Every structure is written in C-alpha cells, then in structure tokens.
C-alpha cells in the first residue's frame, strides 16, 4: 500500500470536522462533559493512525476506517443536534459528552451487568451445544437409516422457546436458572435441527469413503459426520445465539435484578435516558463482540472450505 492510500482518507477529515464543531458555542444545553468525547475521539484517532500503519490487507484497513468514520459521523451529528443547536428534546437526547461521562462513572456497575448477562448466555448456550450436537449426530445418523427422529424434533423445535418461560418459572427456583433453561432450549432446537440436517445431507461418497476405511461407529460420528456437517451446525448455533440475546434481554426487562436488560429497563423507568442510551450502546457492543468471536471460531473451524 502506498502512503497516500494508507493515510489520505475521509476519516481523518471527519476527525478535523469533529474538532472544529467544538468551536461552535453551546446552545441552551451545555455539555459540561464535552471533554470526555473530545478525548475519546482523539484516542480513537490515535488508534486509527496506529492501525493504519500496521495493517497489511487493504480490505481490512478499508473496513476498519469505515467503521471509525461511521462513529465520527454519528458523534458529529449527535453533537450538532444536541449540544450545539438543541434540535432535540433535551431530557430524551442527552449530549454525547454526558453519556460518555456517565459511562465512565457507571463503568463498574455496567461490567457487573455484562458479566451477569453474558454468563447466563454462555452457560445455557454452551450447555445446549454440548448436548444438541452429539444427540443431533446420533439422531441424524439413525434418521438416515430411517427413523421418526426428524419429525419429532421438527415438532418440538417449532414451539417458540419463550412460551416455556412460565413453565420454567414454576419448575425452577431462581431467575438465573430459568434464564439458563430458556436459553438452553432456544439454542438446543436450532442446533439439533442443524446438526441433524447436516448429517442427513452428508454426501454418500463421503460416507462410502469412510465405510471402506472400516471406521468404528464412534469415529464415523465424530470424525466424519461432525466435520462434514459443521457448516449446518454453525447455522443452528448462529440462530441460537441471536434468539438467546433477544430472549435474555426481554426476560431481564421483566423479572431480573441484574443484567443489561434490567439496566436499561430500570433506568428508563426512572426517566434516566442518559443511562438508557448507555445500556443500548453496551448491548450493541456486547453482541457485536460476541458475534465477532463466534465468526472467528467458525472461520477457523471451516478453514478447509474454499
């Protein structure tokens, strides 16, 4: 990459624009914490420059820079609409500095809530995968040999997991265990269905190749069927992850004393929209982060595909 391609980019112009609009005098609302955003943006800009210098693939740099440009654009629009020209209702739309300052203040509390939500999700999610994948391999294999397993799982999987909540509450002692249970179910069915359909769609030639090597049934399931159906399993896992987040945050809004859903609901009940916005952003970041990790794992495990 040429120096020009590396450093001459719109994102840096946006950075300058952001700094320049700080010179406009504040209107009615005064963003007393504007310094937070300015430092944040300077930090991001520094990071962008470092990344620009280190990154190797032009495509990755484009992607990174576009994301940063989006953040800058958002912050510019947000600053102008709130602190500078007061276009939006103050109580509902706090200026960015105030949100950031509140975030810094609430940092510990937010972390605890993230831990609580992510902990529940991981527990239910991983447990579901650990049970659904081997079971799906086994049922898929016997369904190939002609059994009713497919129809049974289609029926059970068609029930939206959220309707298990009342029963779960009756069955289980704590909010946490009910949440884990519901997330378990929300993940279990799509992963089971994905695994089964994966196994049932493994090409006959792959199975024949394994059969003539005289593999044991265990090897057939875990060394042949599992990798051969991995792509479909991941489709199920992905679906489970999305549904899990929807379910958990909804559940937390209804009955929890902790978690990100609780954080948002609790503060919006008190009319504290600064913290509500923080909650929304944090939920977004957490989901993006988890999806990112998830995609990395998927990419690594499927690296043999073209």
Interaction site with another protein (CB under 8 A): 205-206, 208-215, 219, 223-224, 227-228, 230, 303-306
Least distance in angstroms from the C-beta of 203 to another protein: 9
Give me the least distance between CB of 293 and another protein, in Å please: 21
Cβ atoms 278, 102 nearer than 8 A? yes
How many CA atoms lie less than 13 Å away from 196 in the CB half-sphere?
Answer: 26
Q: Give the residue with the Cβ less far from another protein, 37 or 207.
A: 207
223 DSSP 8-state letter? I
Which residue's CB is nearer to another protein, number 109 or number 211? 211
Least Cβ distance, residue 214 to another protein (angstroms): 5
Tell me the closest approach of the beta carbon of residue 80 to another protein, in angstroms. 51
- Of 201 and 219, CB closest to another protein: 219
Residue pair 276/264 in contact (Cβ under 8 Å)? The answer is yes
Q: Which is nearer to another protein, 131 or 215 (CB)?
A: 215
Which contacts (CB < 8 Å, 24+ apart) does range 240-244 have? 240/125, 240/128, 240/129, 240/186, 240/187, 240/188, 240/190, 240/191, 241/125, 241/187, 241/290, 241/291, 241/294, 243/161, 243/186, 243/187, 243/190, 244/121, 244/124, 244/125, 244/183, 244/186, 244/187
- Hey, how many other C-beta atoms are within 10 angstroms of the C-beta on 51? 14
CB-facing half-sphere around the CA of 32: CA atoms within 13 A: 2
Q: Alpha-carbon dihedral of residues 152, 127, 261, 292, nearest 10 degrees? A: -100
Find the shortest distance in angstroms from Cβ 236 to another protein.
18
- To the nearest whole angstrom, how small is the minimum distance from the Cβ of residue 198 to another protein? 13
191 in Cβ contact with 140 (< 8 Å) = no
Angle (nearest 5°) at CA 207 between 204 and 212:
120
Q: Which is nearer to another protein, 127 or 228 (CB)?
A: 228
Report the residue number, 89 or 205, with the smaller CB distance to another protein. Answer: 205
Other CB atoms within 10 Å distance of the CB of residue 4: 8
Rounded distance, CA 15 to CA 13, Å?
A: 5
CB of 304 vs another protein, minimal distance in Å: 4
Q: Which is nearer to another protein, 134 or 227 (CB)?
A: 227
- The number of angstroms, rounded, from the C-alpha of 93 to the middle of its chain's C-alpha atoms is 25
CB distance 81 to 93 below 8 Å: yes
Q: Which is nearer to another protein, 4 or 303 (CB)?
A: 303
Least Å from the CB of residue 216 to another protein: 9
């Amino acid at each position: 990459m040429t120096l020009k391609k590396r450093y001459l980019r719109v994102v840096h112009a946006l950075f300058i624009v952001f700094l320049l609009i700080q010179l406009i005098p504040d209107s009615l609302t005064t963003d007393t914490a504007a310094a937070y955003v300015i430092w944040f943006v300077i930090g991001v800009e520094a990071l962008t420059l470092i990344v620009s210098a280190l990154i190797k693939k032009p495509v990755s740099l484009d992607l990174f820079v576009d994301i940063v440009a989006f953040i800058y654009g958002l912050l510019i629009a947000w600053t102008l609409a709130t602190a500078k020209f007061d276009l939006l209702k103050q109580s509902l739309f706090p200026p960015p500095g105030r949100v950031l300052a509140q975030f810094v203040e609430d940092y510990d509390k937010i972390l605890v809530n993230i831990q609580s939500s992510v902990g529940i999700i991981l527990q239910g999610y991983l447990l579901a995968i650990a049970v659904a994948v081997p079971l799906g391999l086994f049922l898929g294999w016997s369904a190939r040999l002609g059994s009713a397993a497919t129809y049974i799982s289609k029926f059970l999987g068609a029930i939206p997991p959220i309707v298990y909540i009342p029963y779960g509450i009756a069955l289980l002692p704590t909010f946490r265990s009910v949440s884990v249970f519901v997330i378990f179910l929300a993940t279990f069915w799509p992963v089971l269905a994905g695994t089964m359909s994966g196994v049932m769609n493994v090409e006959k030639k792959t199975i024949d190749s394994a059969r003539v090597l005289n593999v044991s049934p265990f090897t057939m399931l875990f060394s042949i069927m599992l990798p051969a159906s991995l792509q479909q399993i991941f489709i199920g896992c992905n679906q489970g992850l999305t549904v899990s987040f929807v379910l958990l945050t909804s559940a937390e809004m209804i009955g929890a004393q902790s978690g990100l859903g609780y954080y948002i609901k609790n503060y919006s009940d008190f009319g504290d929209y600064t913290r509500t916005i923080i909650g929304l952003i944090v939920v977004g970041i957490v989901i993006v982060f988890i999806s990112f990790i998830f995609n990395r794992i998927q990419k690594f495990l499927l690296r043999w595909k073209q």
